[in-house]
Amino acid sequence: MTNPTVRFARLDREKMEAIRALEESLGKVIVAFEPVIRLADLSPEEIARLKEAEQELGVVLVAYDES
């Protein structure tokens, strides 16, 4: 298994403005990351299972392909 990694997202002006607008509307600070791995292509049912597990465990889960 490889070690999955993320880095701070490289954002253009349009994306930065969208995030700033979201921060303003939520009243929260948002940090954008981008994966340096290939995310798994999940079915809607698999996504639902992942989200249920996140709720139960109180964590953020990310599925990725090892290749």
Overall number of domains in the chain: 2
3-state secondary structure of 17: helix
Please tell me the distance from the alpha carbon of residue 48 to that of residue 27, in angstroms, as a whole number. 28
Structure tokens at 29: 């600070």
Asked if residue 12 and residue 23 are part of one domain, the reply reads yes
CB-based contacts of 5, cutoff 8 Å, min separation 6: 35, 36, 37
pLDDT in tens, 25-36: 999 999 999 878
Beta bridge partners of 8: 33
> How many Cα atoms sit within 13 Å of 60 on the Cβ side?
0
Q: How confident is the model at residue 41 (pLDDT cuts 50, 70, 90)?
A: very high
Phi and psi of 21, rounded to 5°? -65, -40
Give the global pTM.
0.56
Residue 18: domain span: 1-36
Asked if residue 54 and residue 26 are part of one domain, the reply reads no
